[in-house]
Structures are given as C-alpha cells and as structure tokens.
C-alpha cells in the first residue's frame, strides 16, 4: 500500500512552527539578514553541507541489531512511522531549528569514541564507553508512541534497555531524588551551539528518580533495527514516552544523581509553559498549541491525544500523591 506523505505546503503554518516560544520580529529579521549575508559571502556552502565522509560514527558489534521485540510494548492503533520520515523531521537545536534541515547539518558530528559518565550521589560513579554499555545489556525493541509538545506525533521501534539497569549499576544513595541528563557540547560539530547563543548549551534535562526507574524509561541506542542515526540522537538518547518529546534528551554524555530538583533546558526558556513534569495532558493547552489532538507525521491524520500519551497504566501511580490534577501533569 502506498504511504501518503502530505507535502509540507499542505501543513498549516501553525503546525510547522517550532518549539521556540518567543522569537521576536526583530530577531527574525536579524536572522534573515544574517543568512542573506552568509549566502552572499559563500559561507553557507561550507564543508558541513558537502564533503563529510570522514566523521567517525559508533557502530554496535555485528549481530547486535535487530534486537528481539518486546511484545508488551506494541502500539495497536497506529502504524509505525516510516524511517525515512522519522529521520528527516527532527528537533535537534544543537544543529538547527529547522526540522527538515537537521539531517543536512549533522555531517561533522562524531559519535565515536563516546563516553557516558554516571556521577553524583551514588556508590559507584563510573565512566562507560558506548561499547561497554551496548555489550553489557540485553537490548530489546519496543514500539512507542512519541508526542512532541508542538502536537505532532510518530510511532517508532526503538532499541535499547531500561534506564533502571544503569541506575542499578551506579547504586544511587537514598538521598538521590532526581536524575539529571546532559547532552554533548561541541561547537565545531554543532552549528546551533556555535551560533544560537540565546540557548544555554549543552542541552540538559531531568526526571524524578521514580520516573527514571520506571520500566517505560528507555535508554536508546538504535531504532528501526539498526544503530541510531545521528539526527535521532546517536549514539545514545533517552525515550520517556509519557512525556512531551523535549523530556527525551539526545546524544547524552552525562547522567547525574542529585538531591534538588534541577533546572531543565525548556523549563528555563519558559517556566510557565514548559513544566518540569511535562506529562502529556490533552486538557492543558500550551499557549501556542492546543494539546487536545495531535498530527501523525506520516499520514497527516489528526487524532485525539491521551493523558500520559496513553501510558497511564504504567505511570499514573507515580503521581497519585500530587495535590491536584495540574501537578500530576505539569
């Protein structure tokens, strides 16, 4: 059956706008002017866009993929989003704020060698190479719904393992109440880090420790039965399927156990609109996007959104003690 992908020009403007909450007209004009002068000076035709075959990329040992599918995590009511679409419509502001361009801006991004540091309040702080991580766990494939706060959604077969396994390895102290994640920082790879200075790079996110230990919370090293592509957050990212997409940091280098609730990247940009919890809640609109429904990026179909993105059976108990409904979600 042919897959229908609506051309970009048929998507209403309000849906193609991005995560940015406030971009003033002045700022937009300045950006346009900067781009025009860059084109005039030839700077846009950099090696980033063209010759890029030398970047070193992490590859899991032969035979790692595809991993066995865990049938407990299947999505019955939706079809899997074609890989070509999931890897060409990305939010990865380290590279660019234009989703369709991320795949063209990653050419210099090197994912090998890669080390993840686990530190903070734990008995066994450690540094692990990607290979040590991949070889020490049984990878599995899970199909999850994925929901961005911009009200688009996809369905992806991720390969990885529960974050819980890494936490157990580190043996957190009882005083560790939150888990903090930090993405890579390298201006020579990432044009957004070099030029979009209004953002507080590197990207940082956090979860409550019980959220981090929930069986749904997945460390992901692959998708679609192979190594994760760079635009999707290679070589290692998080997937937290009951929360808006920005709670799933990409290309992680550090996992830290802390006592106080940490600041997070989008919460810092707009604390009133990007809550710390950010559990999917169709009843609470963001100022720019009603959250009542979402657009499936492959078919263009609009479907009603679900509390906790449909994962309430796994996670609603985490929030039973919150005083009111708003606290369960925001």
Ligand X SMILES: Nc1nc2c(c(=O)[nH]1)N[C@H]1C(S)=C(S)[C@@H](COP(=O)(O)O)O[C@H]1N2
User: For binding to Mo ion (CB under 5 A), which residues are involved?
Assistant: 91, 148, 245-246
Residue 291 contact, options ligand X, Mo ion, none, Cβ 5-8 Å cut-off depending on partner type: none
Q: How far apart are CA 200 and CA 220, in angstroms?
A: 24
Q: Is 249 in the site for ligand X (CB under 6 A)?
A: yes
Query: Which residues, 6+ apart, have CB-to-CB distance to 68 below 8 Å?
Result: 140, 141
Residues 131-160 that bind ligand X (CB under 6 A): 148
Q: How far apart are CA 142 and CA 163, in angstroms?
A: 14
Options 68-76, 121-129, 206-214, 249-257: segment touching ligand X (CB under 6 A):
249-257
| CB of residue 71 to Mo ion, shortest distance in Å | 28
| CB of residue 149 to Mo ion, shortest distance in Å | 5
| CB of residue 92 to ligand X, shortest distance in Å | 5
Options 38-46, 117-125, 248-256, 280-288: segment touching ligand X (CB under 6 A):
248-256
Q: Which residue is nearest to ligand X (CB)?
A: 245
| CB of residue 121 to Mo ion, shortest distance in Å | 29
**Which of 204, 328, 176, 197 has the alpha carbon at shortest distance from 263?**
204
**What is the C-alpha R_g of the chain?**
19
Q: How far apart are CA 156 and CA 12, in angstroms?
A: 24
H helices, E strands: number in the chain: 11, 12
**Are 202 and 182 within 8 A, CB to CB?**
yes
| Beta-bridge partners for 304 | 293
Query: Which residues, 6+ apart, have CB-to-CB distance to 254 below 8 Å?
Result: 116, 117, 118, 119, 180, 181, 182
| CB of residue 249 to ligand X, shortest distance in Å | 4
Strand order in the sheet with 252-258: 126-129, 115-120, 252-258, 178-183, 204-208
Q: How far apart are CA 126 and CA 84, in angstroms?
A: 36
The stretches of 97-207 forming alpha helices (DSSP H) are 102-105, 130-136, 164-170, 191-195
DSSP string for residues in 11-25: S-HHHH--S-S---H
Q: Which of 232, 277, 278, 309 binds ligand X (CB under 6 A)?
A: 232
Options 157-165, 209-217, 242-250, 319-327: segment touching ligand X (CB under 6 A):
242-250
Residues 176-215 that bind ligand X (CB under 6 A): 183, 203
Residues 76-95 that bind ligand X (CB under 6 A): 90-94
Nearer to Mo ion, 99 or 254 (CB): 99
Nearer to ligand X, 121 or 255 (CB): 255
Q: Is 73 in the site for ligand X (CB under 6 A)?
A: no
Per-residue interface string for the shown chain with ligand X, residues 19-48, x marking contact by CB under 6 A: x-----------------------------
Q: How far apart are CA 329 and CA 326, in angstroms?
A: 6
φ/ψ region of 310 (left if φ > 0, alpha if ψ in -120 to 50, else beta) reads left
Options 36-44, 104-112, 241-249, 274-282: segment touching ligand X (CB under 6 A):
241-249
Residue 147 contact, options Mo ion, ligand X, none, Cβ 5-8 Å cut-off depending on partner type: none
Nearer to ligand X, 221 or 248 (CB): 248
| CB of residue 138 to ligand X, shortest distance in Å | 23
Where along the sequence are the contacts to ligand X (CB under 6 A)? 19, 90-94, 148, 183, 203, 232-233, 245-246, 248-251
């Amino acid at each position: 059956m042919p897959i229908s992908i609506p051309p970009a020009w048929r998507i209403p403007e309000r849906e193609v706008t991005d995560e940015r909450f406030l971009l003033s007209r002045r700022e937009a004009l300045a950006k346009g002017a900067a781009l025009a002068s860059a084109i005039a000076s030839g700077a846009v035709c950099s090696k980033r866009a063209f010759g890029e075959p030398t970047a070193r990329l992490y590859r899991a040992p032969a035979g790692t993929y595809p991993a066995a599918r865990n049938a407990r995590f299947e999505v019955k009511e939706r079809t899997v989003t074609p890989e070509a679409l999931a890897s060409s419509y990305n939010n990865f502001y380290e590279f660019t704020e234009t989703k369709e361009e991320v795949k063209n801006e990653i050419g210099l991004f090197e994912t090998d060698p890669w080390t993840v540091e686990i530190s903070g309040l734990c008995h066994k702080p450690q540094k692990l190479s990607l290979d040590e991580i991949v070889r020490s766990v049984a990878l599995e494939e899970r199909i999850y719904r994925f929901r961005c706060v911009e009200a688009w959604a996809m369905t992806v077969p991720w390969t990885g393992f529960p974050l819980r396994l890494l936490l157990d390895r580190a043996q957190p102290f009882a005083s560790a109440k939150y888990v903090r994640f930090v993405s890579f920082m390298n201006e020579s790879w990432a044009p957004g880090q070099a030029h979009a200075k209004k953002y507080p790079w590197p990207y940082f996110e956090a979860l409550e420790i019980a959220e981090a230990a929930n069986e749904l919370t997945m460390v992901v090293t692959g998708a679609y039965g192979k190594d994760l592509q760079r635009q999707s957050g290679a070589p290692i990212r998080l997937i937290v399927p009951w929360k808006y997409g920005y709670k799933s940091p990409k290309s992680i280098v550090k996992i830290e156990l802390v006592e106080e609730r940490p600041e997070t990247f989008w919460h810092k940009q707009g604390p009133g609109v990007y809550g710390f919890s950010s559990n999917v809640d169709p009843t609470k609109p963001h100022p720019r996007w009603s959250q009542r429904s979402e657009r499936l990026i492959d078919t263009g179909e609009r479907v009603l959104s679900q509390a906790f993105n449909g994962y309430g059976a796994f996670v609603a108990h985490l929030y039973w003690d919150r005083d009111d409904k708003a606290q369960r979600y925001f």
